[in-house]
């Protein structure tokens, strides 16, 4: 029996997870996998119940699981907790990333047919956009030596060749399963860590002759990402550059409610890597409890879970396809709806649905796709 730890968290977290779980369960069943989905508290909800955002029972469950299916944590109520280590994000998400050495953060970004108008870019720039940014998550400036004095400060950027190597192998393997193109983003004209990134990436590239690798300075890449986003396939980069570029990529596609993520580490088993899967958005307290949240980012995170932690590529694609068909059939949560659909008329411009109804529509389409 495979175990997936389900941590809904706070705000819209439990709502988007509840709307996505039936499709994830069904995709597992149709793939012949015997999976259980025990739930545990995390974030503010866990703090309220136990006094800690990541209680021992939750950690124990995660330790015994193949993956973590995560909603979102945080909310204004918890910003006032005096000890920052007990606040939801810092006290739960960061320790989970550290504990399981989740060094590779994947954020796929694509534009679904019919949603081109959601982006701030002109539709002609978005045609064919299907990008996977892979960001190194446990090294670089965020984890290097730091010092803050009255008149000076520094944050050291440090990378070991081994840290770069494991990320690059990951990126090349991902590129093999996609368009076989990989772009390394760096700043090797100024930063010595980037010189090492380039050197290691070139060495690793020799093991993947079928993938075409190129590289690009980060400043130029930031420009190309808005000028010709559809020209990229897989992009690999270090921690801080990836942090900034993944937000830019999110904005290019238009809606935060559509962006999934996977954070993968060194642990794994015969099926795949241990991973933490979550939508890119937060707990959205402004719309929590109203059925307004878009669950598609969480459903697409479930597809990543099938792909990377359960080794079920066909099921992952089927779930992604079910999401695309649901959107093509005009289903819209409020964040995606045109003014006509917001009027509740169910016009051709889109049919306004709740969080739960969107999950049901995806499940219905998943049932019709043969993939087992």
Ligand X SMILES: NC(=O)c1ccc[n+]([C@@H]2O[C@H](COP(=O)([O-])OP(=O)(O)OC[C@H]3O[C@@H](n4cnc5c(N)ncnc54)[C@H](O)[C@@H]3O)[C@@H](O)[C@H]2O)c1
| Active-site annotation, residues | 142, 187, 219, 243, 247
CB of 77 to ligand X, least distance (A): 9
Q: How far is the CB of 37 from ligand X (least distance, A)?
A: 19
Rounded distance between C-alpha atoms, residue 191 and residue 157, angstroms: 9
Distance CA 158, CA 193 (A): 7
- Minimum distance between the CB of residue 242 and ligand X, rounded to whole angstroms? 16
Contacts of 272 (CB under 8 A, 6+ apart): 66, 307, 308, 309, 310, 311
Distance between CA atoms of residues 245 and 250, nearest Å: 9
Residues that bind ligand X (CB under 6 A): 12, 16, 72-75, 89, 93, 256-257, 278, 281-287, 293-294, 297, 335
Do the bridges between strand 104-110 and strand 130-136 make them parallel or antiparallel, or are there none, so unpaired? antiparallel
Closest residue to ligand X: CB criterion: 282
Token pair for residue 75? 């909310």
Nearer to ligand X, 237 or 294 (CB): 294
Choice between 213 and 276, CB closer to ligand X: 276
At its nearest, how many Å lie between ligand X and the CB of residue 12? Answer: 6
> What is the residue-wise DSSP string for 24-73?
HHHHHHHTT--EE--B---THHHHHHHSSSS-HHHHHHHHT-SEEEEEE-
Residue number, 186 or 332, with CB nearest to ligand X: 332
Minimum CB–partner distance for residue 31 and ligand X (Å): 26
Nearer to ligand X, 296 or 324 (CB): 296
Quote the tokens at residue 343.
């009027």
Q: Which is nearer to ligand X, 238 or 335 (CB)?
A: 335
> What is the spatial distance between Cα 61 and Cα 70, in angstroms, rounded to a whole number?
13
Report DSSP letters for 110-140, one per residue.
E--TT-GGGSSS-HHHHTT-EEEEEEE-SSG
Contact 265, 166 (CB under 8 A): no
């Amino acid at each position: 029996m495979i175990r997936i730890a389900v941590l809904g968290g706070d705000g819209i977290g439990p709502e988007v997870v509840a709307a996505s779980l039936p499709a994830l369960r069904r995709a597992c069943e149709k793939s012949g996998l015997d999976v259980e989905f025990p739930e545990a508290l995390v974030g503010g909800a866990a703090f309220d119940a136990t006094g800690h955002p990541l209680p021992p029972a939750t950690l124990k469950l995660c330790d015994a699981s193949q993956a973590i299916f995560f909603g979102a944590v945080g909310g204004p109520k918890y910003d006032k907790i005096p000890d920052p280590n007990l606040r939801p994000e810092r006290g739960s998400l960061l320790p989970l990333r550290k504990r399981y050495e989740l060094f590779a953060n994947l954020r796929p970004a694509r534009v679904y047919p019919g949603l081109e108008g959601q982006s701030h870019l002109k539709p002609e720039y978005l045609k064919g956009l299907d990008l996977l940014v892979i960001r190194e998550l446990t090294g670089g400036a965020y984890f290097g030596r730091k010092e803050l004095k009255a008149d000076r400060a520094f944050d050291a950027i440090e990378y070991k060749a081994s840290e770069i190597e494991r990320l690059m192998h990951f990126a090349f393997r991902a590129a093999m399963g996609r368009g076989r193109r990989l772009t390394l983003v760096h700043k090797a004209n100024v930063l010595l860590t980037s010189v090492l990134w380039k050197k290691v990436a070139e060495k690793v590239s020799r093991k993947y002759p079928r993938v075409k690798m190129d590289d690009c300075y980060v400043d130029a890449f930031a420009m190309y990402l808005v000028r010709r986003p559809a020209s990229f396939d897989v992009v690999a980069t270090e921690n801080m550059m990836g942090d900034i570029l993944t937000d830019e990529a999110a904005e290019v596609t238009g809606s935060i409610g559509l962006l999934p993520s996977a954070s993968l580490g060194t642990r794994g088993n015969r099926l795949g890597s241990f991973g933490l899967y979550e939508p890119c958005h937060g707990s959205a307290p402004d719309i929590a409890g109203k059925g307004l949240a878009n669950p598609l980012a969480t459903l697409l995170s479930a597809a990543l879970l099938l792909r990377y932690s359960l080794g079920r590529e066909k099921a992952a694609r089927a779930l992604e396809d079910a999401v695309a068909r649901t959107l093509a059939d005009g289903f819209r949560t409020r964040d995606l709806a045109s003014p006509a659909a917001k009027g509740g008329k169910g016009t051709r411009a889109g049919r306004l649905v709740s969080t739960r109804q969107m999950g049901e529509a995806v499940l219905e389409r998943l049932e019709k796709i043969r993939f087992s």
